[in-house]
Amino acid sequence: MSVPLEILDEREAAAFLRLSSRTLQRMRLDGGGPAYVQLGERRIAYRIASLRDWLANRERRSTSQGAA
């Protein structure tokens, strides 16, 4: 079974964002990370569009703009 190209598993999403898988797991628990899709009880995936949107929303031009 092939996975659609617009969906990444946790490891791939972490690499895409240059974060660790553990950081993505913590973000899911805290609710501060990118939107994800729960494909099964223990299977998580991320849409590339959601990862890009999350990155765009975290973009800052100055340190005075505050944290995301």
> Model pTM?
0.82
Q: Is 7-60 CATH 1.10.10? A: yes
Residue 10 pLDDT grade (very low, low, confident, very high; cuts 50, 70, 90):
very high
Give Cα separations from 29 to 36, 47, 53 (angstroms): 12, 18, 19
Q: What is the pLDDT of residues 15-68, one digit of tens each?
A: 999 999 999 999 999 999 999 999 999 999 999 999 999 999 988 888 887 665
Q: What is the pLDDT of residue 60?
A: 84
Q: Give the residue extent of every domain in the chain.
A: 7-60
